[in-house]
Amino acid sequence: MRRIVLTLALVAVSAIAPAQVRTEWSGSLTASFGVDIGGDLSAAGARAQGALDGTVGSEYFPTAAFRVAIDLDGDAACDRGEVRLGEAWGRLFLGDVELTAGNQTLSWGSTDAVNPVDRLNPRDLRVPIDAAKLATPMVHVRAYLDGDVTLEAALVPVFVASLPPSAAWRDDPVPTLPPGMTSVETRPVRDERPAAAPENAQFGARAQWRPPGFDLAVSYLHLFRDTPTASAEVVPTGTPGELALQPVLRYDRIEVVGVDGSVALGPFVFRAEAAYTFTRDPDGTDPSVGNPGFQVVVGGETAIPDGPRVVLQLVLDGETLDAAPDGTHGGIELAWRSMAIVNHAVDARTDLHVAWVQDFDGSGLLRPTVAYDFADAVTGTLEAVVAYGADDSRFGAWRERSGMSASLSMAF
């Protein structure tokens, strides 16, 4: 009996042995400190990120791969302390098809910083100017076809909302009441995020054609908006003239159709991306549902010899306005922004990065950053944020958040 068990064990081991597993740990430690122009701390924290990556099979042509990443983040200035699961996925390589399941992030689109078709992952908007992507549970398939065509499909079975802006970055809206009415109570916010149910599944599909010299892609997304449409319901209290306010956060079902691409022409790379968002309120008559809109980004990029790499972009946002009380169409509101991004490697250790957004409403945001490599994988960063504009402008509300921050990061 023992001999049979031993034989079976040897057979099992010999079956596993060819599937060689390679693993590698990596991570980073970051400490940061910042103050805003009012003298308040904008950052005073530390962050540790760790990841385990692995492959099964051949080193460069594995049959499977996996990644598990953990993020420990504490910031006294934002009263934040958390342990968050980052990317945690497994991937199978099946010939020309890659199948990935788990917590993951995807990047779709072609332009810089503003990507109308890159909507599958929610964002961490606690500091909205960073808007880092959050890994979310997803099943993703990528197929490489003949003719330089790549097809992708992603299924997001469970809705995850973006993290809302922290108090310092948020303007709480003041609802207006009907004339002669008094609010006596504001009830707790009712968050109506979609439940985990088959009918609430989200998905996206993308086809990209990438022959030499240019690429072109079309995308379709069936999602919920990851930031809520806020509304307030007026609820009678039973006393004449007295009402209670019931704030409601709803996540609208949306369909996004987009196209993006890039082309290299001599010393320039031109990129463009556009998407139209359909909602369940095409005429803008339901205040509790967001209105349809579109976003177009057009830009060019070049590298100046011995100088910086420069990106210039123009962004156009359009949104259907709420319908008039008589039901007539409210028209479309257009908003233009220009963006300039400059990256320059001053020397082997020093990188200069400047991002500048100028809205056509007169407001803007300037964000220069200097990064210096003290040693291999040890980087210090000094950054300024300057927001300007009127109170009711796009960036004017962030004026008080202008300030400076410094961080030191070590990767391993």
Partner 1 sequence: MTRSTGPKRAATAIRRPTPPIAVALLLVAAVAVLGIPAAAQAYGSADELMAAVEARPEPASVEAILEMTIANAAGQSLTREMRSWSTGAERRLLKFTAPADIAGSGFLRIDDGSVDETLVYLPALDRVRRVAGGQRGESFFGSDFAYEDVEGIDPDDYTYVLLRVEDGPRYVIEATPTAASGSTYDRLVLEVPEATLIPERVVYYRGDEAIKELTVHDVQQVGDYLLGMERRMVTLDRGSTTVIRQSDVNLDGDLTDEIFTERFLRR
Closer to partner 1 by Cβ: residue 147 or 198:
147
Closer to partner 1 by Cβ: residue 104 or 320:
104
Closer to partner 1 by Cβ: residue 98 or 361:
98
Rounded Cα gap, residues 367 and 350, in angstroms:
17
Rounded Cα gap, residues 262 and 269, in angstroms:
7
Question: Quick count: other Cβ atoms within 10 Å of Cβ 10?
Answer: 10
Provide φ and ψ at 13, rounded to 5°: -65, -40
Query: How far apart, in Å, are the Cα atoms of 88 and each of 15, 158, 201, 205, 363?
Result: 26, 15, 20, 22, 40
Closest CB 304 distance from partner 1, rounded Å: 9
Closer to partner 1 by Cβ: residue 96 or 242:
96
Closest CB 403 distance from partner 1, rounded Å: 24
* 109, 133 Cβ separation under 8 angstroms: no
Provide φ and ψ at 153, rounded to 5°: -145, 140
Closest CB 77 distance from partner 1, rounded Å: 25
Rounded Cα gap, residues 322 and 335, in angstroms:
16
Closest CB 345 distance from partner 1, rounded Å: 5
Rounded Cα gap, residues 403 and 382, in angstroms:
11
CA proximity to 209, closest of 94, 112, 299, 110: 110
Closest CB 412 distance from partner 1, rounded Å: 5
Closer to partner 1 by Cβ: residue 7 or 350:
350
Closer to partner 1 by Cβ: residue 275 or 289:
275
Taking the CA atoms of the chain, what radius of gyration do you get in angstroms? 25
Question: What does the DSSP assignment read for 63-76?
Answer: EEEEEEEEEEEEET
CA proximity to 102, closest of 91, 92, 89, 93: 89
CA proximity to 43, closest of 389, 398, 383: 383
Closest CB 329 distance from partner 1, rounded Å: 38
Closest CB 221 distance from partner 1, rounded Å: 18
Closest CB 176 distance from partner 1, rounded Å: 43
Closer to partner 1 by Cβ: residue 60 or 238:
60
Give me the residues that bind partner 1 (CB under 8 A), please.
Answer: 26-28, 60-61, 105-107, 144, 210, 212-213, 215, 262, 264-269, 301-303, 305-306, 309, 345, 347-349, 351, 373, 375-377, 379, 409, 411-412
Closest CB 317 distance from partner 1, rounded Å: 23
Closer to partner 1 by Cβ: residue 183 or 302:
302
Closer to partner 1 by Cβ: residue 170 or 349:
349
Half-sphere exposure of 62 (CA within 13 A, CB side): 18
Residue with tokens 């072609």: 110
* 248, 234 Cβ separation under 8 angstroms: no
